[in-house]
Amino acid sequence: MGLETATYISDFNVNNPTQNDPVGEGDNHIKMIKSAIKTTFPNVTGQVSGTHTAINSAVAAANAATSANTASKIVLRDASGNFTAGTITAALTGDVKGDVKNAAGTVVLAAGDADTAATFTGTVTGLATSLNGKVDNSQVLTDVPANAVFVDTNTTYSAGTGISLSGTTFSNSAPDQTVALTGAGATSVSGTYPNFTITSTDTDTNTNTTYSAGTGISLNGTTFSNSAPDQTVSLTGAGATSVSGTYPNFTITSTDTDTNTDTNTTYSAGTGISLSGTTFSANGSAITGVNAAKVDSFSISTNSTGTDANTIYFRT
């Protein structure tokens, strides 16, 4: 008998048994077939109800599985255990950990779970409905779990004036200070902490005074202004005084060297002298017969005028 050795179905020889094989070898042949079938399908412990078409389709689909976002393909995780997908619609039971992006539906965070932390990036449809009545602006209006911990590890804080910072605790660095209220001028302070009275004796409440603008001044409401600002000032010399130079540097010069500024002395005319206003004159008849040639080294002349600096001239 042509009895082959077979471990799996693929080891069967389709030409065995031959027509000349002894009937007594039939049992061995049957045993070999049964052993190969069990070895080929070791985990089949029940009925396989799928048709060969369904089984073949399932095998083809499994072989075509991919980690890429490909429609109508079985999802195959890559070497890192990840896969790419578009929109996933599902009802989740249990905890969701990590980032939830573009979630649609209602997301419920279980209270008391230290690992429950969701980061939402995108539109979360239904979240507003879930939080309706529980969140008002920045205030959470529902109970916060007793063991909830809010940790900020990115913000740096510093203590300002009058505040000290130790670890994560801010404190008043100068508590319970005495505040002194002292009145001055027309103001006085009375009473004791925490009730004080501040009194002012200044009773001037005049709000009725009427003001007006004088020459060169204009008044608009409560504002006084120079009505003719930036005017040109002209400096002109006269008599013995002259002005030279240009703005802003001028020189004022006088050629009058008479420094006599006596305006208080009273004068009177004596014998032979007459006084008219501020002019003294000599009476010629009064000096007739005076033969002295000089008076105090000055020569005397009856001429009314002359140019000799050593001669006294009289009007006659």
Structure tokens at 308: 């000799």
142 vs 302: CA distance, rounded Å: 131
| 289, part of any domain | yes
| 193, part of any domain | no
148: closest CA among 119, 111, 175? 111
| 16, part of any domain | yes
For residue 275, which amino acid is it?
L
Across-strand partners of 311? 299
| 136, part of any domain | yes
Tens digit of pLDDT per residue, the chain (316 long)?
457 889 999 998 888 888 888 888 888 889 999 999 999 999 999 998 999 999 999 999 999 999 999 988 999 999 998 988 877 777 767 666 666 655 555 555 544 444 444 455 455 555 555 556 655 555 555 666 666 666 667 788 888 888 888 888 888 888 877 878 888 888 999 988 878 899 988 777 667 778 888 888 888 888 888 887 777 778 888 888 888 888 778 898 888 766 666 667 777 877 777 788 777 776 655 455 444 455 666 777 777 677 777 777 765 5
| 25, part of any domain | yes
Q: What are phi and psi of 86, to 5 degrees?
A: -90, -115
157 vs 30: CA distance, rounded Å: 85
- Alpha carbon dihedral 281, 287, 288, 293, in 10-degree steps, equals -110
pLDDT at 148: 67
Question: What single string gives the DSSP state of each residue in 35-88?
Answer: HHHHHHSTT--S---S-HHHHHHHHHHHHT-BSS--TT--B---TTS----S--
């003719």: which residue's tokens? 228
Range of the domain at 131: 100-109+116-140
Distance of alpha carbon 87 from the chain centroid: 42
Interstrand relation of 118-121 and 163-166 (parallel, antiparallel or unpaired): unpaired
| 133, part of any domain | yes
User: pLDDT tens digits for 216-238?
Assistant: 888 888 888 888 777 777 888 88
| 281, part of any domain | yes
Tell me if 243 sits within 8 A of 237, measured CB to CB. yes
| 127, part of any domain | yes
Residues 6+ positions from 103 with CB-CB distance below 8 Å: 120, 122, 124, 125, 127
Tell me if 100 sits within 8 A of 118, measured CB to CB. yes
Tell me if 115 sits within 8 A of 97, measured CB to CB. yes
Tell me if 173 sits within 8 A of 163, measured CB to CB. yes
Number of structural domains found in the chain: 3
Interstrand relation of 217-220 and 195-200 (parallel, antiparallel or unpaired): unpaired
């471990």: which residue's tokens? 7
Q: What are phi and psi of 36, to 5 degrees?
A: -65, -35
User: pLDDT tens digits for 287-300?
Assistant: 554 444 556 667 77
- Alpha carbon dihedral 33, 37, 39, 44, in 10-degree steps, equals -150
